[in-house]
Amino acid sequence: MAKKRLRKKDFKEDHLVTIALKTSNFIQKHFTQVISGVVILVAAIGIILFTANARRNTAAEAEQQQALAMDQFMLRNYRAASTTFLTIADRYSSHKVGVVSMYFLGECYLALYRYQDAIDAYDRYLRRAGEEAPFRVAARIGKAYSHEGLTQFQAAAEELEDLADTMDPGDVRYANVLFSAGLFYEETGDVTRALGFYDKVAEIATGPLKSRVDVKMALLK
């Protein structure tokens, strides 16, 4: 009995086998491109992991240096602290600790009577940290006293006048900022403006500051 000849259409297509064959053919045909793609993907993942790890290590190193600098600062070893803060500010300028170090560098320079260096450090901090800088008020007060150290009383007065305009009146430093602005304007010979600030202080000050401003006003009027 003759066997029935099977025609091509009598075979049922196995989709899984078909997909596997097509995939195999594709890989064979595009072997180089597929391997290159895998290599690039693996390399990209490696770079991402390496970068993340490097950032963690860098941040840890920066924080260790910051801790050392703060120890020196709290011990009033301002010369050593300034060197450490400057290194941190330059080496880790893109990190938060690097930005904060610029403020403390200004504080060290002010304590060392390096007034122009202090102004430069405070300005560098304020530019990098922006309006929401945690030490913005302190840095601007430091700038004013650095100007005073250089006998630049006009610049000192204007710095504090501008600062007072942006400060929260509820800030415990507010009355002292106004009083110091008055002192600096008095140093420039501008008694009228000085009295204007003393008047504001007299309205809100209490305790020793109130007594000081009352004496100042009595002497100038």
Model pLDDT for residues 19-37, shown as the tens digit of each residue:
555 555 555 555 555 444 4
pLDDT for 64: 87
Tens of pLDDT, residue by residue over 27-67, are 555 555 544 444 444 444 444 433 344 345 566 787 888 89
Arithmetic mean of pLDDT, 214-221: 91
Residues 213/204, Cβ–Cβ less than 8 Å: no
pLDDT at 126 over 80: yes
Most confident of the following: 6-10, 22-26, 209-213: 209-213
Higher pLDDT, 37 or 199: 199
pTM score above 0.75: no
Residues 95/63, Cβ–Cβ less than 8 Å: no
Q: What is the residue-averaged pLDDT of the chain?
A: 82
CA distance 148 to 203: 26
Arithmetic mean of pLDDT, 164-185: 96
pLDDT at 9 over 70: no
pLDDT for 95: 84
CA distance 136 to 167: 10
Written as one letter, the residue type at 93 is: S
pLDDT for 39: 44
Most confident of the following: 2-16, 37-51, 200-214: 200-214
Arithmetic mean of pLDDT, 89-104: 90
Written as one letter, the residue type at 130 is: G
Measured CA to CA in angstroms, residue 145 lies from 2, 110, 128, 140 at distances of 113, 8, 21, 9
Residues 201/175, Cβ–Cβ less than 8 Å: yes
CA distance 195 to 179: 10
